[in-house]
Amino acid sequence: MEKKISTAVVRRLPRYYRYLSELLENGIDRISSQELSRAMNVTASQIRQDFNNFGGFGQQGYGYSVEVLKEEIGRILGLDQQFRVIILGAGNLGQALAGYGGFARRGFIMSALFDVNPEKIGQKVGDLVVRDMKDLARYVRENTVHIAALTLPKAKAPEVAKTLTDMGVHAFWNFAATDLKLPSDAVVENVHLAESLMRLSYNIVNQSRDE
Amino acid sequence: MEKKISTAVVRRLPRYYRYLSELLENGIDRISSQELSRAMNVTASQIRQDFNNFGGFGQQGYGYSVEVLKEEIGRILGLDQQFRVIILGAGNLGQALAGYGGFARRGFIMSALFDVNPEKIGQKVGDLVVRDMKDLARYVRENTVHIAALTLPKAKAPEVAKTLTDMGVHAFWNFAATDLKLPSDAVVENVHLAESLMRLSYNIVNQSRDE
DNA sequence: TAGATTGTTAATCGATTAACAATC
DNA sequence: TAGATTGTTAATCGATTAACAATC
């Protein structure tokens, strides 16, 4: 069995992927851990350790093929697959997620958008039409749903998440300012913007400590 | 001089703050590290270590006053201050940030919203009117700006960030999918949604590893 | 072959957990 | 005073960095 990959590594993988994409766009097809190290502000040692969690992708004396490395990391991240994402809550944030085209390029298809507000239901948001939250169960039954993005008030989020897990959806991209209590086979990625902003203000207020 | 606080601790502080706020709302005015530990899924030991980075807020044999603790952590995070935030880019995400009322409660005042698109300029978004990006320099000169939220395309972000740092703004909430190269006295908090989504898909694809 | 750079083991560093004396 | 729980030191664990043998 494979060894457990730490969350620290998983946090870095998408960033590697992004850098490698940029390199490829700039026509750079080969790179050493040391060059990557300078560009990304991590140690070359860490880069090699990270990659070797998944087996070596490089060649001694040569370095890494940018294309191969990008491909492999993409595969590790699941970017060779397609994920169908439904968005719960058609507020500003839900609409922003629905409208942003960049996700589709990585295989994340925003496939439906739900809300309870009668004024929003039926409205177009990007390619999607806002659906009635009442139709959620039927939609999930009739369509494949890999990921549910929760962009609804924190009071509503746990209840909707519960409904969804009961119907077999077990991956959540959670923007609601609460920690979901979910079955152990559920996967959650939290995006707590208010907390992010507080970390920023911490660093502003305590800036002198770092210098 | 104070000891350096690790980023791991800083990441946890806003979550403590959120929990304490909830406890207070529920009328709970006293808690032990052990109770908090169970509620938050961290060890009691870690909680006490975290708090003691800033001096003890508790009382032996009693525990912590929820109100005092919340107050103190809030102060550490800078929530006793007001921060004026300008938003660069009035796309869906910029509008979402401008429209969300929750930030103001914590002292983050969304005070202006800029875009280059003539069709957007002049439109109302929540309480704000979209301003012309050309007026940015004048605005910054004439108004206090603590934080700049960058919700613009990654191609534009570095240039705008540069302009802002030159004008003395040195705290950035960066939503653009790029790493800003900024002076060392700048403070940056990145929110890379695409990377967040990739971590989620990683965990979906590699779920069996964890179980 | 010589030079370069990986893959991998060993050393170090830092963060988390455990333990317990201090004290309310 | 006895019981409870913090504050803090010591032990452990895991992640990062350094070093170098393997090898392209």
Per-residue pLDDT reduced to its tens digit, B177-193: 999 999 989 999 999 99
pLDDT digits (tens, 9 = 90+) for A132-182: 999 999 999 999 999 999 999 999 999 999 999 999 999 999 999 999 999
Q: What does the alpha-carbon distance between residue A69 and residue A31 come to, in Å, rounded to a whole number?
A: 10
pLDDT digits (tens, 9 = 90+) for B150-182: 999 999 999 999 999 999 999 999 999 999 999
Question: What does R_g of chain A's alpha carbons equal in angstroms?
Answer: 20
Angle at A195 between CA A193 and CA A199, to 5 degrees: 115
Find the CB nearest B103 among A95, A194, A211. A194
Mean of the per-residue pLDDT values of chain B: 95
B200, A184: Cβ pair inside 8 Å?
no
- C-alpha dihedral sign at B75, B80, B81, B86: positive
Chain C: positions less than 7 Å from a protein CB are 2-9, 14-19, 22-24
Contact A51, A76 (CB under 8 A): no
In whole angstroms, how far apart are CA B172 and each of A95, B84, B134, B162, B199? 23, 12, 19, 11, 23
Q: What does the alpha-carbon distance between residue B124 and residue B195 come to, in Å, rounded to a whole number?
A: 31
Instruction: Tally the C-alpha atoms within 13 A of residue A14's C-alpha that lie toward its C-beta.
Output: 23
List of chain A residues whose C-beta atoms are within 8 Å of the C-beta of residue B177? 18, 102
Instruction: Name residue, tokens 């959620």.
Output: A136
How would DSSP label each residue in A12-78? HHHHHHHHHHHHHHTT--EE-HHHHHHHHTS-HHHHHHHHHTT---SBTTTBEEHHHHHHHHHHHHT
pTM value?
Answer: 0.95
B108, A207: Cβ pair inside 8 Å?
no
In whole angstroms, how far apart are CA B104 and each of B20, B79, B107? 19, 10, 5
In whole angstroms, how far apart are CA A20 and each of A47, A72, A136, B176? 13, 11, 38, 17
Find the CB nearest A108 among B78, B197, B211. B197
Report yes or no: A206 at the B interface, CB cutoff 8 Å: yes
How would DSSP label each residue in chain B? -PPPPPHHHHHHHHHHHHHHHHHHHTT--EE-HHHHHHHHTS-HHHHHHHHHTT---EETTTEEEHHHHHHHHHHHHTTTS-EEEEEE--SHHHHHHHH-THHHHTTEEEEEEEES-TTTTT-EETTEEEEEGGGHHHHHHHS---EEEE-S-TTTHHHHHHHHHHTT--EEEE-SSS-----TT-EEEE--HHHHHHHHHHHHHTHHHH-
Give bridge partners of residue A85 from the DSSP assignment. Answer: A110, A147
**Single-letter amino acid, residue B52:** N
Chain D: positions less than 7 Å from a protein CB are 2-9, 14-19, 22-24
Q: What is the pLDDT along chain B (211 residues), one digit of tens a residue?
A: 456 899 999 999 999 999 999 999 999 999 999 999 999 999 999 999 999 999 889 999 999 999 999 999 999 999 999 999 999 999 999 999 999 989 999 999 999 999 999 999 999 999 999 999 999 999 999 999 999 999 999 999 999 999 999 999 999 999 999 999 999 899 999 999 999 999 999 999 998 654 4
Q: Chain B: nearest CA to A64, how far in angstroms?
A: 22
Burial (Cβ within 10 Å: 0-12, 13-18, ≥19) of residue A148: buried
Question: What does R_g of chain B's alpha carbons equal in angstroms?
Answer: 20
List A residues 88-147 in contact with B (Cβ-Cβ < 8 A): 91-93, 95-97, 99-100, 102-103, 106-108, 146-147
